[in-house]
A and B are shown apart, each in its own frame.
Chain A
Amino acid sequence: MYRASLASPVDFEGWRTQARRFASLRIPPADIIWQVGEEKADLFAEDSPALPSRAAEARVVKVPKAFMQMAERAICHRDPQRFAWLYQLLIDLQANASALSDPLNEAAGWLKAADAQIRRDAHKMRAFVRFRKVAERDGRDVFMSWFEPDHRIVRHVAPFFVQRFTGMDWTILTPDACASWDGKSLTFAPGADRSQLPGEDAIEDQWKTYYASIFNPARLKVGAMMSEMPAKYWKNLPEAELIPGLIRQAGEREGKLLAEPSTPSNIRTSRMGNFFADAPEEDLSTLEGAREAASQCQRCALHACASQTVFGEGPSDARLMIIGEQPGDMEDIAGKPFVGPAGQLLDKAFEAAGLDRRKAYVTNAVKHFKFTPRGKRRMHQKPNAGEIDTCRFWLDLERSLVKPDIIVTLGASALRGVFGKAAALKDHRGAFSDLGTGARLIATIHPSYLLRLPDRARAAAEYEKFVTDLARARSLLDVAQHSVARLRAERSK
């Protein structure tokens, strides 16, 4: 029998050095007696024999990181067999490095259970320590607390209190050990008793008032409270003395609320009446007025789920108008058209075609985002014919206010938005038609179509076609510009 002595009940370093030496010499767990201090642990213990000097056969002892972290915590456990359990697991780990996650390994089972208990105990200490202010010293508040943890966790938990209550001096007294912080260093002292805690702190009355007021008597669930705040903690919680009374009165208080006849409105409402003035009259003669009116639009059901109306954007005298289908997820969040992936592609194509997006008026056939929630995302849904037709009201308004020379429609929905009836993109693409409003139309695809093409070669070819369409819009703009200039020149003669 070998005897291993540890300096204190939580002497992890002592356990570690001795366990390492025993394990490297393959000493079986049953041959070791672990004890705290030097006294003989049991009646029959003899003096510990010298360890065999088998240095040649000594092995290197290795453990997974998780074991070290858990073992350091488990040393705080009150189970007298903790050192033996940890050593048993250490030996098992030498034979099987993943013994820790083996559901059949008994020592691993003990460690996991002990670790869970320690963590819960530590969590409850972080939660239920209640400080009382006892003095002020050199401009710093001095606080004290008395707490009774289940296990020997003071050293393990103290750093949390240092990091949280750095700016005050505090002492936590417990039966096993005490921890103190003075703003510079953390010190430990032997255990104390409750009598060292001063009895008064005026703020406790405020706390109790808060505790009683935040409780909802109509939701009494005593079991739920007891499972998280077991009665063993109550004696050190100032608010706990209120619990029996609150429970006793809950039924009566709820009954009163249920029996109370509901009251007619009080007089103050009528005075508030003119606070919420009616919405101002709509002014649809300017783009700003139209934008304001559209922000309240409820003409179709799409407003009920979208964040906001995404109205067109760009100079009110733009000569080029770009019409897309509808806002997507990012546009809905930002409240602006074409800011997502399709918008970035559009910017790139604009540049390739020699156009400046900032000079164009960019809008959509439908002004609200239509989607369906899937998992963690909103999946875009195509607007239907009815939604496009309803939203034409706004598109027509934008067209009549901006009066562009050239309109570029992106995709089939935009085409329908312009024509007011179904139109196939392939019949209109490439050619440009006169819309009779003095504007010319160029129909092309929607950039999101390019993003969906899986075949890269084909996507590149389609992108080129898209740029060609935009370039055609640019040359038309140039021609129009040119004829305007010529007209002006003739007039000035």
Chain B
Amino acid sequence: MAKKSLIDRLAILADAAKYDASCASSGSVKRNSMKTGGVGSTGGTGICHAYAPDGRCISLLKILMTNFCIYDCRYCVNRVSSNVERARFSVDEIVQLTLDFYKRNYIEGLFLSSGIIRSSNYTMEQMVEVARKLREDHHFGGYIHLKSIPEADPALIEQAGLHADRLSINIELPKETSLKAYAPEKSGAVIRTAMASVRKGIDDRRTDIKERAKARPKKFAPGGQSTQMIVGADASSDRDIISTSATLYTGYKLRRVYYSAFSPIQDSSADLPIIRPPLMREHRLYQADWLMRFYGFEQEEIFEARRDGMLDLEIDPKLAWALERRERFPVDVNRASREDLLRVPGFGTKTVNRILTARRHTHLRLEHVGKIVRSLKASRDFIQTIDWHPARTLDITDLRSRFLPKPVQLELL
């Protein structure tokens, strides 16, 4: 069999990587190339260099080292039993591709993942070698995100953390029972243990920095760790997903949990649904996730009125919660605490900060709030200002219908 050209393999191994939602290149240390004379810088927020027509940003070169795999995870296009076309990059090819793309300002860095070949340790060694070469041989200062292989030796994970900005391990399915059914070789416990060792590395680095114990704090994944869950491949409810997220966020200090709507894959397995990706459900899960992380909501609150454990697809979870808890409204924009303002539908964290600043100058009227938020549509029924009170609006039984998108007239056939 003739070896496929680089460009053909790039097509295969980028296609195989597109099911990973992660693209972040943010949250690492500030770095630039002024001292090394190489290329690459990081710091603060990452840059999205392009957007694909799926609305996703392209920030990192996201590829698999190989899509050969000895595992048979049913939801995965690269599982051993799939007939998908296979390919492999050498370490040097990945290094070259990354540098070529980076120098043309196409990308912020590399996100390298891989199917598992030969053994977990062999696969991890190869990936670490890519990162080592980029850092040490080429003084590459851009972003590197490595996928950790769960069963790999902790010494290899330590090496990975030394070179990479971020490490991630995908839990993929929220419940242990689903993992057993769909990913027979994967174990939630092994994945959580791996996440624990990454958190320990991150914690140790923080301690070094805080205590200034060492002149040079241990280098370890300054961009933290993340994970991903697939939405809609198994029967897990939104509550199961968010509750697993809460467990992972609190346990392993994850920067992000990504939710990836299950997409139909080439050569899909017979025991999985063939569905259009549930994009709205994915979107609502992200919103619920943000409520937990930035708005002070606990997972029980988000689901308290959702008997079937599923989020409302028609309205966002904060509005759904507010409609159930009308006794907490209207919130007085001029007096309420930050916590209460954060609970107002349509108020984001930036809006709340601006309100807190603005009300030091003047008693806010509705028009002032209107200048601060993009639109009053979502919030006006839940707030009061010196010249506005929603009066009896909050008593309307059918308040929810006001927030639904307008019905669309269908075409005659």
Which chain A residues have a beta carbon within 8 Å of chain B's beta carbons? 98, 101-104, 109, 123, 126-133, 141, 143, 145, 160, 162-168, 183, 201, 203-207, 209-225, 228-229, 237, 239, 243, 246-247, 250, 254, 257-258, 260, 262-266, 268-269, 272, 275-276, 303-308, 329, 332-335, 371, 373-378
Contact = CB atoms under 8 A, between A and B. Distances in A.
A269 B272 CA distance: 18
Contacts of A257: 263-266, 268, 274
Contacts of B15: 213-214
Interface in B57-102: 57-58, 61-63, 70, 72, 80-83, 97, 100-101
Contact of A218 (B38, B81, B276): B276
A373 B299 contact: yes
Contact of B38 (A167, A201, A219, A239): A167
B323 interface: no
A444 to B, nearest CB: 30
Most central of A103, A254, A268, A306 by chain B CB within 10 Å: A103
B249 interface: yes
B50 A239 contact: yes
B338 interface: no
25 contacts: A104-B362, A128-B50, A166-B33, A166-B38, A167-B37, A167-B39, A204-B104, A206-B6, A206-B101, A211-B52, A213-B12, A216-B18, A216-B19, A219-B279, A221-B53, A224-B54, A257-B263, A262-B269, A262-B272, A263-B82, A265-B72, A304-B176, A307-B195, A307-B196, A371-B250
Contacts of B371: 103, 109
Contacts of A305: 247, 251
Contact of B33 (A164, A229, A378): A164
B33 A272 contact: no
A306 B15 CA distance: 35
Contacts of A308: 189, 192-193, 196
Contacts of B100: 203, 206
A264 B18 contact: no
Q: Output the residue of B14, B36, B141 with the most chain A CB within 10 A.
A: B14
Contacts of B268: 257, 260, 262-263
B301 interface: no
A342 B338 CA distance: 35
B326 interface: no
A228 B247 contact: no
Contacts of A98: 360-361
Given A129-B105, A376-B249, A219 B56 contact: yes
Contacts of A332: 196, 251
A268 B368 CA distance: 66
A220 B205 CA distance: 41
A254 B53 CA distance: 14
Interface in B283-310: 296, 298-299
B34 A166 contact: yes
B7 A164 contact: no
Contacts of A163: 32-34, 41
A129 B97 CA distance: 19
Given A167-B37, A378-B251, A222 B55 contact: yes
A258 B7 contact: no
A215 B53 contact: yes
A164 B32 contact: yes
B105 A258 contact: no
A140 to B, nearest CB: 10
Contacts of B62: 214
Contacts of B83: 263, 266
Contact of A224 (B33, B55, B105, B185): B55
A266 B82 contact: yes
Nearest to A103: B358
A147 B251 CA distance: 46
B52 A214 contact: yes
Nearest to A201: B104
A206 B97 contact: yes
Nearest to A99: B361
A329 B247 CA distance: 12
Shortest beta-carbon contacts, A-B, top 7: A224-B55, A221-B55, A163-B32, A265-B81, A213-B14, A166-B33, A307-B196
Contacts of A334: 196, 200
Contact of B263 (A126, A128, A216, A307): A216
Given A126-B47, A128-B49, A305-B247, 5 more contacts: A203-B100, A211-B52, A257-B264, A308-B192, A373-B246
A304 to B, nearest CB: 5
Contacts of A132: 104
Contacts of A160: 41
Contact of B10 (A141, A183, A209, A329): A209
A86 to B, nearest CB: 21
Nearest to B100: A203
Nearest to B10: A209
A269 B139 contact: no
B17 A243 contact: no
Given A166-B37, A377-B250, A228 B51 contact: yes
B368 A219 contact: no
Contact of A127 (B10, B48, B274, B276): B48
Given A215-B54, A219-B279, A272 B70 contact: yes
A126 B25 CA distance: 14
Nearest to B275: A258
Contacts of A304: 176, 188
Contacts of B176: 304
A239 B106 CA distance: 10
A227 to B, nearest CB: 9
B264 A223 contact: no
Nearest to A307: B196
B40 interface: yes
Contacts of A129: 105
Nearest to B177: A304
B386 interface: no
A201 to B, nearest CB: 7
Contacts of A375: 250, 296, 298
Contacts of A223: 55
Contacts of B41: 160, 163-164
B39 A168 contact: yes
Contacts of B368: 103-104
B39 A143 contact: no
B261 interface: yes
B103 A262 contact: no
Choose among B33, B277, B372 the residue with the greatest number of A CB atoms under 10 Å from its CB: B33
Contacts of B61: 210
Nearest to A259: B274
Nearest to A100: B357
A285 B263 CA distance: 49
Contacts of B48: 127, 228
B270 A264 contact: yes
Nearest to B50: A239
A205 B104 CA distance: 12
Interface centre among A109, A183, A250, A257 (most CB of B within 10 A): A257
Nearest to A162: B34
Contacts of B57: 228
A143 B106 CA distance: 13
Interface string B208-221: 00000000000000
A112 to B, nearest CB: 10
B199 interface: yes
A381 B394 CA distance: 39
A254 B276 contact: yes
B55 A219 contact: yes
A162 B141 CA distance: 13
Given A165-B103, A268-B81, A243 B53 contact: yes
A312 to B, nearest CB: 18
B52 A215 contact: yes
B178 to A, nearest CB: 12
Nearest to A376: B250
A214 B17 contact: yes
Given A219-B261, A272-B72, A101 B18 contact: no
